[in-house]
Amino acid sequence: MSCGRRGLWIVVTLITILLALPIAAIDLDGSFSSQLYWYEDAQFVHIRPYESLRLNWHAWQDQERELSFHTSARYTTDLNDRFATDPQLFIRSAYLKFRCRPNRFQINLGRQFVYSSAGSALIDGVRLKFNKYRPLELNLFAGTSVSRLDPEKVRSFSDYLVIGGRAAYKLGRSFRPGINWMIEKKEGSLSYHRLSLDSRYNYQRWQMYGRLGYSPLNQSLSELLARLSWSRTKWYLSAEWLQRDPSVSDNSIFSLIQFDQYQLIRIQARRTLTPGLAVFAHQQYSIYSDDNSYEISAGLQKNDLSIGLRHQSGYAGDYNSLFGSARVSGSSEWAAYSSFNLGRYQVQEYQENTIDSYSANLGLERKYPSGLTLSAEIQFLRNGLKSDDWRTFLQLTKNFQMKD
Amino acid sequence: MLRNKPKLILTALGLLLSLSLILKAFPPATLEVPPSDIIFSHQFHVGDQEIDCESCHTEISSSDKAATHNLPTMDECSACHDVEDDETCGICHRNSEEPSGFSEPERSVLFNHARHLENEITCQKCHAAIATSEKSSSDNLPKMALCMNCHDGGKLSNDCALCHGDQLVLEDIHPSGWKNEHGDRAAVEREWCTGCHRGESSCLECHRGDNLNGNIHDLNYRYTHGLEAKGKSIECSRCHENKQFCVSCHENEIRMPLRHSLLSWRTNHGLAARMDVENCAACHEAGETTCARSGCHTDRDGIRGTDNKIHDADAGRFSFGGEWHDDNSYFCYQCHTNTNQRGDRFCGYCHN
């Protein structure tokens, strides 16, 4: 049986299991969304429809146990000139969830996104959550990673295994130290193996988070992160220091050469001047072994209107831009929105001239009481590579809820 | 560099553990109802005596603000209790010498009891455990996650302003650096996210793998993304599988960094790779022009360390030990990874 057919069979099997169960009442919610994106590139006019479905089916529950099915999927193609990947059906999630409240146990079976502080992946597999023996919380997952380019396939365990988890100890309301672990194989060999220890703590107006990552393969620390933030009624301040290895697979040819770590220092601040009016600033230093880069942005926000400036210079190139966004609601049913970005950049010092880039969009949104939302948006782009590029984006979304 | 420093690891672990213990000594921030003089058992009144909520909270069905004083006064108590009898103050007041009323917490949340009751949302739906509660405490107040069961952004709005008015905007919760931080928060404290965002499907509002309307990246991001990628403003690989994602444009459309065409690139690309290997790996890992496959760094004779295209033919005839063997900063290690393990990569050349 081909891998693609095997994926389809797994989805069919999951739904069949669900249908075979005694379903007490229909309890469905979700959304269906149709989008149409219309633009022209150097050669062709592209007319791309996207059909998306999100569904939560609460199939059965009593006081202690609960079984549900969750899925989200999107189909896309091009009505005029297809890309190599068209048409594509991407099932992003399709899993059964069983939850037993007295034992504080949950199992998810099927395609799902899993993550811990040691890494994340989209897998076909199983996730277990168990926290009966509080304050100990266990999260474990295992499966095969999903290819983003060929998502219809379910790949083999021997070549694309993903295993990981998190064991956390919850002390009080807000102190959560945890140990995380993840292994991922690609093309048959180990491409990622990380252990991490992290902790979060809230004390009065302070929030702290720290993480320490370790690579067993290289026998070295792969990441150190410390973040501290402070907030009160009108202020939010945050500082972060991160030192990490570059993201290179352990089975990559690049893992054979010696490479250096990066350091990032980020600071951000937000000050509310009057209700609804705030100023914000964000600053980052990227420190490489042989160079630096610097970035700062600052702006003003008044309810749904915001405007700001950004400046970047150093190894990562020069960039200056003015950006903003606005959303104006005529009523609970109508809204108009817009955003823009006017930039001038130079990717690297070898580039002789700076390049201007402009982008803007303007849209109208209409919400109906039935859960239907209709929006139409016009987009405009201009830059050094493309002259005036006009695009149209239409979206129709229906939120639904069915309950006996 | 932090490689091969187990002592440093142990020190860091020790520091983290010490910090954890120090922090544990301080109580975390909590939102408690201020200490009250009133002794009151909902279990007795509601559970055992089956007294209706509105018998005591008389104005609740017309209350349109959470800040309204919805707690009963002695007038309501006097319907059953003899409040004039000085001898029985201690039944309800802890301090019967100087009895006082409820100390209400400051309420900044907007809440309309009248509208919820009109829509047949019963008291128990939000104050679920009230009939078994033996004392007045913040445990009797509904948590935000409960509100979000109905206010899920579908038929009922989940707009912050609906309950928090102008006291809270989205950026207060998710400030400008949130793109970098939210993954860490979700990994450690998933229920904090699900308090507002119902289920994983809401993650897909952003993580749906396209850039159709500029919600995640600016519409011109296709042309300016190199600035953020090199600057590490965001870690591209958190969302994109670099190996295939970058190549789908860079190789297919032959988008090559300008400096590759400089004459000096041939001699200094090694140093550039050492400084920012992610930049190289983004394209070359999946393409046909990796270090070895391009033909430049291919070990063509198959004998380790003897290919003079890479270095001199006798480069592999170093004597064992010596300066290069123990000095991790030695030039050999600009290319070769010292794993310090028998049979593994560079060490495996000799230590089989």
A275 touches B at CB < 8 Å: yes
End-to-end CA distance of chain A: 40
Nearest to A203 among B26, B218, B219 (CB): B26
Same domain, B250 and B326: no
Higher pLDDT, B162 or A105: A105
Q: How many domains does chain B have?
A: 4
B67 touches A at CB < 8 Å: no
**pLDDT score for A333:** 87
Residues of B in contact with A257 (CB under 8 A): 270, 273-274, 277, 291, 334-337
Structure tokens at B1: 């560099």
Whether residue B211 is contained in a domain is answered as: no
Same domain, B119 and B190: no
Higher pLDDT, A286 or B340: A286
**pLDDT score for B291:** 75
Whether residue B105 is contained in a domain is answered as: yes
**pLDDT score for A311:** 95
Q: Do A221 and B226 touch (CB under 8 A)?
A: no
For residues A112 and A127, the answer to whether their CB atoms sit within 8 Å is yes
pLDDT 10s digits, B21-37: 655 555 444 444 456 77
- Reduce the DSSP state of residue A346 to 3 states and report it: strand
Residue A271 has pLDDT above 60, yes or no: yes
B203 touches A at CB < 8 Å: yes
Whether residue B255 is contained in a domain is answered as: yes
Single residue among B246, B265, B284 that ends a domain in this structure: B284
Question: To probe the interface with A, which of B201, B258, B333 has the most A CB atoms within 10 Å?
Answer: B201
Residue B161 has pLDDT above 60, yes or no: yes
Contacts of B120 (CB under 8 A, 6+ apart): none
Same domain, B73 and B133: yes
Q: Do B214 and A339 touch (CB under 8 A)?
A: yes
Q: How many domains does chain A have?
A: 1
Same domain, B324 and B249: no
Same domain, B267 and B325: no
pLDDT 10s digits, B216-251: 788 888 888 888 888 887 777 777 776 677 877 777
Host domain of residue A50: 1-77+88-98
**pLDDT score for B352:** 72
Compute the nearest-CA separation of B307 from chain A (Å): 17
CA distances A16 to A12, A21, A96, Å, are 6, 9, 11
**pLDDT score for B227:** 87
Nearest to A260 among B180, B275, B340 (CB): B275
The nearest alpha carbon in chain B to A272 belongs to B172
**pLDDT score for A37:** 94
Nearest to B224 among A214, A303, A319 (CB): A319
Residue B22, classified by CB atoms within 10 Å of its CB into exposed (0-12), middle (13-18) or buried (19+), is: exposed
The nearest alpha carbon in chain B to A333 belongs to B157
A346 touches B at CB < 8 Å: no
pLDDT 10s digits, A41-93: 877 899 999 999 988 888 887 778 889 899 989 999 999 877 777 888 888 89
B320 touches A at CB < 8 Å: no
The closest alpha carbon to A393, from A355, A348, A349, A361, belongs to A361
Whether residue A158 is contained in a domain is answered as: no
pLDDT 10s digits, A186-202: 888 888 999 999 998 88
**pLDDT score for B232:** 85
Quick one: average pLDDT of A96-109?
90
Residues of B in contact with A291 (CB under 8 A): 275
pLDDT 10s digits, B28-61: 444 444 567 788 888 888 888 888 888 888 888 8
Whether residue A21 is contained in a domain is answered as: yes
pLDDT 10s digits, A105-129: 999 999 999 988 898 899 999 999 9
The nearest alpha carbon in chain A to B265 belongs to A350
Residue-wise DSSP of B169-222 = -HHHHS-TTHHHHHHHHHHH-HHHHHTTS-TGGGGGGT-SS--SSSSSS-TTHH
Whether residue B308 is contained in a domain is answered as: no
Same domain, B95 and B131: yes
Q: Do B171 and A347 touch (CB under 8 A)?
A: no
**pLDDT score for A224:** 95
Q: How far apart are CA B312 and CA A401, in angstroms?
A: 72
Q: Do A289 and B275 touch (CB under 8 A)?
A: yes
For residues A226 and A210, the answer to whether their CB atoms sit within 8 Å is yes
Host domain of residue B341: 313-348
Whether residue A273 is contained in a domain is answered as: no
Residue-wise DSSP of B143-165 = PHHHHHHH-SSSSS---HHHHHG
